[in-house]
Amino acid sequence: MNAEIKWSWSRFEELRLQDLYDALQLRARVFILEQGPYLDPDGLDQASWHLLGRDRAGLMQAYLRVVDPGLKYEEPSVGRVVTAAELRGRGLGRQLMEEGIGRCTAAWPGQGIRISAQAHLERFYGSLGFERVGEAYLEDGIPHIEMLRRSR
């Protein structure tokens, strides 16, 4: 990994306006411009933790959110996992997920973590301890699978 990333972990109401803007801009670049239109702000951001990764220059390069248990799934739910296109293939996605898993484990000890993963990323998430549960389904026109990382 070439880029040194500084992580911050905040509740929605603790986000600085610039952090919120940068997170939404990165999410829009990937989830809307790269993958096709859909409504990204889905009403769950306000009940979530937000993990932001900035490089040395202060540019947001990675982001994920963790929805509180009981809102989307029984377990905490990692989603909106995104890295800047220009840094893909350098391990930043793994670093982001490992940081997110660690934050979830600290916040909700003894609970599993559930994700709705794009189906083509099953092997990646599997390497992080997630197991497929259920059949594939379409979400916003993209094949997805539900995956669970059991508590350890």
Domain containing 81 — which CATH number? 3.40.630.30
Indicate whether 47 belongs to any domain: yes
Within a domain: 142: yes
Q: What is the pLDDT, as a whole number, of residue 137?
A: 95
Cα 139 to Cα 47, 78, 151, distances in angstroms: 21, 16, 26
Q: Is residue 132 part of a domain?
A: yes
Q: Is residue 75 part of a domain?
A: yes
pTM of the model: 0.92
Does position 141 have pLDDT exceeding 90, yes or no? Answer: no
Q: Is residue 1 scored above 70 in pLDDT?
A: no
**What is the structure's pLDDT at 59?**
96
Read off the pLDDT of residues 53-106 as tens digits, 9 standing for 90 and up.
999 999 999 999 999 999 999 999 999 999 999 999 999 999 999 999 999 999
Whether 99 maps to a domain, the answer reads yes
Task: Tell which wins on pLDDT, 107 or 38.
Answer: 107
Domain-embedded: residue 1? no
Total count of domains within the chain: 1
Percentage of the chain exceeding pLDDT 70: 98
Q: How confident is the model at residue 36 (pLDDT cuts 50, 70, 90)?
A: confident
Question: Does the residue 67 lie in any domain?
Answer: yes
Query: What pLDDT sits at residue 87?
Result: 93
Sequence-ordered list of residues with C-beta below 8 angstroms from that of 66, at least 6 positions apart, any chain = 48, 49, 50, 51, 76, 77, 78, 79, 100, 103, 104, 107
Asked, for residue 33, whether it belongs to a domain, the answer is: yes
What per-residue confidence (pLDDT) applies to 35? 85
What range does the domain containing 134 cover? 6-149
**Weakest mean pLDDT among 107-116, 120-129, 137-146:** 137-146
